[in-house]
A = this chain, B = another copy of it.
């Protein structure tokens, strides 16, 4: 697996779960910041390697082999994010770029030991699940903050969007994983909410609320 191949597999993996269908050439090209023609080239190569099924003009679908390889890249990425936050005290909005590089380090033993060193974490610093060695992802029962109604309480367990901008907004509002959020009121017109997060009370827009995952026990 070359670096480029790993990046393609990972992206297809994410898009497949998001779109719940085959992944189109253009969708991939946009996500990978590259050209459709480059994508086609790589799809043909990955099809040769039995990582995915490629049907001309019809998009691609990962094989079991491809899914496993992709999930392992995701596993490495998320374990390194945990390392960066838990051990090197990086902030959750700073780790993605670095993990993007570290996910390509190739050593089974390294990842095994890293996992143990971190205490076999199940979720990364953004609340995303870490696939196990075999590629299985346990999905937590979590809901979007925007789905809660007045007076419901949730614990923040992750983010849907994890851009630095959004994460920095959450920081400013002192919301992080584990923060208790109480819905004090909800505006039906625009979906905005008045919430209590930790000790503070303030409004959040629908856009904010529908990118935050909470657990309502």
20 contacts between A and B (CB under 8 A): A84-B110, A87-B87, A87-B117, A88-B113, A88-B114, A88-B117, A89-B113, A90-B109, A90-B113, A94-B109, A97-B107, A98-B105, A98-B107, A98-B110, A101-B105, A101-B106, A101-B107, A102-B102, A102-B105, A105-B105
A-side interface residues, number (CB < 8 Å): 18
Interface residues of A in 95-126 (CB under 8 A from B): 97-98, 101-102, 105-107, 109-110, 113-114, 117
Nearest-neighbour CB distance to chain B for A3, whole angstroms, equals 10
Which label, helix, strand, loop or mixed, suits the secondary structure of the A interface?
helix
CB-nearest residue of chain B to A116: B88
Docked complex Cα distance between A110 and B90 (Å): 9
Nearest-neighbour CB distance to chain B for A16, whole angstroms, equals 28
Docked complex Cα distance between A24 and B70 (Å): 43
